[in-house]
Chain A
Amino acid sequence: MSESLVSPPRSAFDQDWRKVVRFGLILAAALLFVSLTDMPDKLDRKIVIEQYLSMGYLVLLWLPLALGGLVTREVVLEGMASHAKGAREVVAGAAVGLIGGLGLSGLIWLLDTRDLSDPLVNWNDDLLEILTFGQSVGTGALYWVLISVSLGAMGGLAQVVPAAVRRSVMASIVAVILVAALEAALDDISEGFRLEWLFDLMFAKRGGLTVAGVVIVIVVAVGYSLIGRIKTAEVKERYDALKGAERQKANTGLLLLTAAAVVILPMFLGKLTNELLANVGLFLLLALGLNIVVGLAGILDLGYVAFFAVGGYTTAILTSPSSPAFSPELPWIVAVIIVVFMACIAGLFIGAPVIRMRGDYLAIVTLGFGEIIRLTVRSDWASGLTGGAQGITSIPGAQIFGLTEVRGINPQAVFYLVAFFCAIAIYMSWRLERSRLGRAWMAVREDESVAEAMGVNTVNVKLMAFVVGAILAAFSGAIFAAKVGSVFETSFKVLVSIVILVVVIVGGMGRIAGVIAGAVVLIGVLGGPNQPGLLAEFSEFKLLIYGALLVWMMLKRPEGLVPNARRSRELHQDEFLQDAWLKGEIDDDDGSTVEGEVAPA
Chain B
Amino acid sequence: MTTTLRSRAASKTGVDWFLTFLRVALSTLVIVGLAAFIGQQIDPDNFFARTVNEDATRLSWEALKDLVISGLSQGSMYGLIALGYSMVYGVLGFINFAHGEVFMVGAMTGMITSTKLAEGGLWESNFILAILIAVVVSVLCSTATAVIMERIAYRPLRGAPRLIPLITSIGVSFFIQNTSAVLLGPGAKNYPRLPDWLRDDVPVLGIEGKKVVVLVVAAISMGALWYLVERTKTGKAMRAVAEDKEIASLMGIDVDRTIVTTFAVGGAMAGVAGILWGILFGSVTEFTGFLPGIKAFSAAVVGGIGNLGGAMAGGLTLGSSESLAPQLVLEPLGVTGHTQLKDAVAFLVLIFVLLVKPTGLFGERLSSEDRA
Contact = CB atoms under 8 A, between A and B. Distances in A.
Are A and B subunits of one complex? yes
Nearest to B17: A352
Interface in A277-330: 298, 300, 302
Contacts of B358: 357, 361
B95 interface: yes
A554 B170 CA distance: 11
A126 B132 CA distance: 36
B198 to A, nearest CB: 24
Interface string B305-348: 00000000000000000000000000000011110110110011
A355 B171 contact: no
Contact of B174 (A358, A449, A547, A571): A547
Interface string A370-384: 011001101111010
Contact of B351 (A358, A368, A376): A368
Name the residue in A38, A372, A554 with the highest tally of chain B Cβ atoms < 10 Å from its Cβ: A554
Contact of B185 (A121, A356, A379): A121
Given A371-B344, A379-B340, A546 B297 contact: no
A548 B1 CA distance: 37
B204 interface: no
B177 interface: yes
B147 to A, nearest CB: 15
A131 B210 CA distance: 46
B298 A364 contact: yes
A460 B14 CA distance: 9
Nearest to B115: A118
Interface string A534-561: 0000001101101111110011001000
B95 A364 contact: yes
Contact of A554 (B15, B168, B341): B168
B167 A550 contact: yes
A84 to B, nearest CB: 29
A9 interface: no
Nearest to A548: B175
Contact of A380 (B19, B171, B178, B336): B336
Nearest to B172: A551
A548 B174 CA distance: 8
B297 A379 contact: no
Contact of A501 (B18, B95, B160, B167): B167
Contacts of B156: 555
B355 interface: yes
Contact of A551 (B153, B160, B185, B338): B153
B294 interface: yes
Most B Cβ at <10 Å: residue of A378, A498, A551, A558: A551
B228 interface: no
Contacts of B162: 359-360
Interface string A386-420: 00000000000000000000000000000000000
Interface residues of B, number: 62
B173 interface: yes
Contact of B350 (A36, A365, A380): A365
Contacts of A234: none
Contact of B343 (A371, A381, A448, A505): A371
B112 A119 contact: yes
A298 B163 contact: yes
Interface residues of A, number: 61
A186 interface: no
Nearest to B159: A574
Contacts of A550: 167-168, 170-171, 174-175
A452 interface: yes
A357 B354 contact: yes
Contact of B177 (A119, A371, A547): A547
A585 to B, nearest CB: 23
A358 B372 contact: yes
A363 B162 CA distance: 12
A121 B186 CA distance: 10
A368 B294 contact: yes
B183 A120 contact: yes
A549 B168 CA distance: 10
A383 B341 CA distance: 13
Contacts of B348: 372
Given A298-B163, A554-B157, A543 B178 contact: yes
Interface in B1-43: 1-3, 13, 15, 18-19, 22
A263 interface: no
27 contacts: A121-B183, A122-B183, A352-B22, A356-B3, A357-B354, A359-B163, A360-B94, A361-B354, A361-B358, A363-B163, A363-B166, A364-B350, A365-B347, A368-B350, A369-B347, A371-B343, A372-B348, A378-B340, A379-B340, A380-B340, A459-B13, A541-B178, A544-B175, A546-B171, A548-B171, A558-B160, A571-B161
Cβ-closest 4 pairs across A and B: A550-B171, A380-B337, A547-B174, A547-B175
Given A541-B182, A571-B164, 12 more contacts: A120-B183, A368-B347, A380-B337, A380-B340, A381-B338, A381-B341, A449-B1, A460-B13, A543-B177, A547-B172, A555-B156, A558-B160
